[in-house]
Structure 1
Amino acid sequence: MRTPSLYLILAGATSLAACATPSDAPSSAMSVPLIGSAGQAIGTVRMWETPGAVSFRVEANGLSVGRKGLHVHAVGRCDGPGFTTAGSHWNPASRKHGLSNPMGPHAGDLPNVPVAANGTLRETVVLTGASFAQLRDADGSALVLHAAEDDNVTDPSGNSGDRIACAVLSPAG
């Protein structure tokens, strides 16, 4: 099932840290659906620009408990159920995967996010260090949630498992 394209303005990153709260989101924040593998919306991704960065607020329900890998992928497509159309991690500098990898990270590598015992995910992360134009290329990009925790070292995806949810981050249109 193909999800509709959504047009966004984004900034990119080479590093990421959780730092904002939902109250930090300005009224200009944009929101896109987070689509589960069955093709249904399981939550939202709100995003807003900050100086030199983009903040993402990910909120979802019905997930399995535990820490999950979260990455920006190179293509703005989220065709289920496996979301392979999102391509590989966004990696314009051709580095190795992992926030702890001495030869990394990919520009799209993000920290793990926690899913609570009740299956909810409520986390804000900030992507810094890249230009607007990089994520707004001709094929856009996607924010992908993985089934398992990213080990932050193993190339190409940190052993983070299947892609379980996806949000399209398309070029401005």
Structure 2
Amino acid sequence: MMRSGWFAIGGLALGMSIAVAQGPKEIKVAIKTSTGQDAGTATFKTVKKGVKVKLELKNLPFGPHGVHIHQNASCEAPDFKSAGGHFNPDGKKHGYMNDMGHHNGDFPASVDIGEDHNGTATFVLGSISLDPVAPNSLFANGGTSIVVHEKADDEKTDPSGNSGNRIACGVIKN
């Protein structure tokens, strides 16, 4: 986005244009299982206190599942290890219950999947941004990914809250 304006310096008027980087206000990411089955979506929307994340998950096993933002924009099946570790530009430990602070990509709770194999959850994360030039941007270094794990996140054990294997993944890119 370009912004223009006139500025006065010591009686001299100067016309200037300043480029302002802006990311999308909202992005929707498709999530897939290791077999390529549709596992739902994650919608990321900029809000005053950070980024609102709405998860609409399906075709997943019954029970609680840890969900995290991971550092790489890659979801290579079957294990999704290409997604790398948790998104953590602030260099903190894992989990909202960790006294050392939480990873930028940590969520404050697991997502419950019902007997119908569906589940929804909404969180506002103040530790991430959709602004491509912010140090905590989901688009930094080519993007990130969202990963669903097989078990609940205990919110304290480093590095991933004992949440088990990665069972679904979606790439987050601008």
Q: TM-score range by the shorter chain?
A: 0.7 to 0.9
Q: Could you say which residue in structure 2 is the equivalent of 1:143?
A: 146
Q: What letter matches 1:56 in structure 2?
A: V
Q: Is the 8 A contact 1:39 1:81 kept in 2?
A: no
Could you give the per-residue CA deviations for residues 12-41 of structure 1, whole angstroms, max 9, x where no partner exists? xxxxxxxxxxxxxxxx64322111111232
Query: How much identity, in percent, do the aligned residues show?
Result: 38
Q: Count the aligned residue pairs.
A: 146
| Structure 1 unaligned blocks of 5 or more | 1-8, 11-27
Amino acid at match of 1:97: H
| Residue 39 (structure 1) aligned with residue 27 (structure 2) | no
Distance 1:105 1:136 in 2: 20
Alignment of 1:98 with 2:95, yes or no, is yes
Deviations 1:61-118 (A, max 9, x none): 2211111101111111111111111110011122111110111211111121111121
Cα distance between partner residues in 2 of 1:164 and 1:44 = 14
Q: Is the CA contact (8 Å cut-off) linking 2:145 and 2:171 kept in structure 1?
A: yes
Q: Distance in 2 between matches of 1:30 and 1:137?
A: 15
Q: Partners of 1:62 and 1:108 in 2: how far apart?
A: 23
- Give the TM-score taking structure 2 as reference length: 0.77
Partner Cα separation in structure 2 for residue 123 and residue 129 of structure 1: 18
For CA contacts below 8 A with separation 6 or more, give which structure has more relative contact order.
1
Say whether the 8 Å CA contact 1:91–1:106 is kept in structure 2.
yes
Normalised TM-score (structure 1): 0.78
For 1:85, the equivalent position in structure 2 comes to: 82
Aligned to 2:163: 160
Consecutive aligned runs of 4 or more in structure 1 exceeding 3 Å deviation: none
Looking at structure 2, the residues matched to 157 and 34 of structure 1 have their Cα atoms a distance apart, in angstroms, of 19
- Contact in 1 for aligned 2:32/2:168 (Cα 8 Å): yes
What is the distance in 1 between the residues matched to 2:84 and 2:127? 21
Question: Helix, strand or coil: the match of 2:82?
Answer: helix
Unaligned runs of 5+ in 2: 1-22
